[in-house]
Amino acid sequence: MKISSVIGSFARNVLPPKIYFKFYRFIRRTRLQVGARSFVHDTVQIIGQSNVVIGRNVVIGESGWFNVNHREAGKSAILIGDNCFLGRRSFLSSGDKIQFGEYCLTAADCRFLGSSHEISDPSTPYVTTGTTRGDSIVIGHNVFFGCGAVVLGNVTIGSGCVIGAGALILEDVPPFSMVVGNPGKVVQRYSFSKMAWIPIGILCPSDLDENPSDDTFLAMLRRTGGTPGLPIIAAGSDMGNL
């Protein structure tokens, strides 16, 4: 075990939470931009730290990998909004950018792949060809990804969506949608006028008339959710048991 991990575990066990958070932010690698009250597990690997921005009150679970494929000075390529929880073994590989809104939640083993290896010429070893850079993954506010969900390519996922376990997202998803399957298929949309998830087969356009804009929805989330106490104990196996 690394010395930093030993020191971190000791500090977490003996220091009051407020003091520990200050200590943690001090010892975390200085080039990573991390907001107040956020926790990034010691085992998370970040390639391109200066191009990653993590908001306030965020938890990133153990064994994650954030890979900025195209690192440019002054450009943010991976952005995690406030009050997000990214589960264990998250893999984010950015082309142009990967952006999460606020209050997003991912279960374990979710993958967000905005870049791939160049494959135009099979006579050249793919390990040498470099990576693509044009695609962006943009995720709205309060989106939940079930265990093992995968987002691939140039994709926008609207606010309020629920992405089922094991779903493969290859194209844009409208706000307040429930998606399942491989490839992912929208099976329900949430209607604020009816306060219910409506199956696509019986959904009427008027059911969506009262659905809020992103700004209105975010204001609603901030009123109802505030700054939640995220379960840091779920971030890693070294965090102990209940």
Q: Counting every residue, how long is the chain?
A: 242
Per residue in 82-140, pLDDT (tens digit) is: 999 999 999 999 999 999 999 999 999 999 999 999 999 999 999 999 999 999 999 99
Reported as a pLDDT band with limits 50, 70 and 90, residue 1 is: very low
Per residue in 162-180, pLDDT (tens digit) is: 999 999 999 999 999 999 9
Question: What's the distance, CA 187 to chain centroid?
Answer: 22
Domains of the chain: which residue ranges? Answer: 1-30, 38-116+131-239
Per residue in 52-92, pLDDT (tens digit) is: 999 999 999 999 999 999 999 989 999 999 999 999 999 99
* pLDDT score, position 22: 62
For 117, phi then psi, to 5°, come to -80, 145
240 vs 141, residue with greater confidence = 141
Reported as a pLDDT band with limits 50, 70 and 90, residue 19 is: confident
Percent of the chain with pLDDT over 70: 89
User: In the CATH scheme, what is the homologous superfamily, with its name and number, of domain 38-116+131-239?
Assistant: Hexapeptide repeat proteins (2.160.10.10)
115-154 in b/e form (b: 16+ CB < 10 A) is beeeeeeeeeeeeeeeebbebbbbbbbbbbbbebbbbbbe
Cβ distance 135 to 95 under 8 Å? yes
Q: Would the pTM of this model clear 0.75, i.e. be above it?
A: yes
Reported as a pLDDT band with limits 50, 70 and 90, residue 16 is: confident
Reported as a pLDDT band with limits 50, 70 and 90, residue 32 is: confident
Once rounded to an integer, what is the mean pLDDT over residues 186-199? Answer: 98
Helix 17-27 and helix 3-14, axial crossing angle in degrees, nearest 10: 160
